[in-house]
Chain A
Amino acid sequence: MPSKLIEKTMRVNRLPHIWCPGCGHGILMRDVAQAIENCGLDPDKVVIVSGIGCSSRAAGYMNYNTLHTTHGRAIAFATGVKLANPELNVIVITGDGDATAIGGNHLIHACRRNIDLTVIVFNNNIYGMTGGQYSPTTPHGEKGTTAPYGNIDYNFDIPQLAQAAGATFTGRCTAYHAQQAIKLIEAGIKHHGFSLIEGLSVCPTYYGRKNKKGDSVKMLSWQKDNAVDVKAAAKMTPEQLEGKILIGELSRVDNKEEYTDMYMKIIEKVGGDK
């Protein structure tokens, strides 16, 4: 028997999921489910859209309307769903590869439009599903199967990228800080406009092993010791913040009109009979 939350929000007959022991994706998927529940949304009005990757398998497990689409295109599909029926709550679950490599263009343009989607990137700093190739978020100098001598690319900061592209809500959470993650995702869902939440995951199987980060417990301990809430960070010196990673709500704009609202206004004005 699973917990009440899991029974309600997951397709229990598909569990246990295929993720490796200690994979952070399972923790983050639970956070998303709890956040949806906390928002009190009608499950029939919730759509989960994902692309391809270990992270994107989440759409197969969650008991809502779900779309498991093609690699990098989750946000494009989600844009279509939202435009066709703006009253739906459209939530995208994607990976760092899915969202910022092959899907990077879709990401920045959705940010720019400020369309009311909530995009949660399960960032494990690697392509997990295909065997540990480096991604746009693999830190500079770290290893992947395609960077055996260390990655010479500089990595993206996903919330900063989204904010610069026009997203009106950005934040970061970790698999370790589950309570804070649930609150942040809740706020992202409630925000009327494009919300980007980076969920720092852990991939002990590829990223962890390649970079000698230890097992999942060690990788989560790193998050515990190095993540600092933005509010606490405001009182810290640059020296104290050296090597730390900021979590919480990172940016927010409330006075920018949302895309489907503007689109509906045009339909009303010039669309004639529907």
Chain B
Amino acid sequence: MENNKKLVINPKWCKGCGICAEFCPKDVLKIVHNKVQIVNDEACIKCGLCELRCPDYAIYIEKEGE
């Protein structure tokens, strides 16, 4: 899947609300000890819905070369 894109987490800004994990269409994310973790990276389609809905800007898609 779109291998020039990478899913990035900034745990320092994550408040563990769980929005990203709940609405991820591919169940890629999980809240562990109040922080988001990538538990199924293979399944990620890099749709960026987590980035759009994260109230804390703690998860996003990074494009290579940017």
Contact = CB atoms under 8 A, between A and B. Distances in A.
Which of B16, B22, B61 is the most central at the interface, judged by chain A CB atoms within 10 Å of its CB? Answer: B22
A212 interface: no
Given A3-B60, A217-B18, 9 more contacts: A6-B60, A16-B58, A22-B55, A23-B55, A175-B53, A217-B23, A220-B22, A220-B53, A221-B22
Interface string B23-66: 10000000000000000000000000001111111101110001
20 contacts: A3-B61, A4-B66, A6-B57, A10-B57, A15-B57, A16-B12, A17-B56, A19-B55, A21-B17, A22-B17, A22-B18, A22-B19, A26-B54, A26-B56, A27-B52, A30-B57, A178-B53, A216-B18, A216-B19, A220-B19
Contacts of B58: 16
A21 B20 CA distance: 12
Given A19-B55, A27-B53, A215 B62 contact: no
Contacts of B22: 217, 220-221
Contacts, number: 69
A25 B57 contact: no
Interface residues on A, range: 20 to 34
Nearest to A21: B15
Interface of A: 1-4, 6, 10, 15-17, 19-27, 30, 175-176, 178-179, 215-217, 220-221
Interface of B: 8, 10, 12-13, 15-19, 22-23, 51-58, 60-62, 66
Nearest to B58: A16
Contact of B51 (A3, A26, A221): A3
B55 A15 contact: no
Nearest to B16: A21
Nearest to A28: B55
A120 to B, nearest CB: 16
A24 B56 CA distance: 10
A2 B55 CA distance: 13
Contacts of B16: 21
A224 to B, nearest CB: 8
Contacts of B53: 27, 175-176, 178, 220
Top 10 A-B pairs, shortest CB-CB distance: A26-B55, A22-B17, A21-B15, A3-B60, A178-B52, A21-B17, A16-B13, A217-B22, A6-B57, A27-B55
Contacts of A15: 13, 57
A3 B10 CA distance: 10
A151 B16 CA distance: 32
Nearest to A31: B52
Given A3-B60, A220-B23, A25 B55 contact: yes
A216 B56 CA distance: 13
Contacts of A1: 8, 10
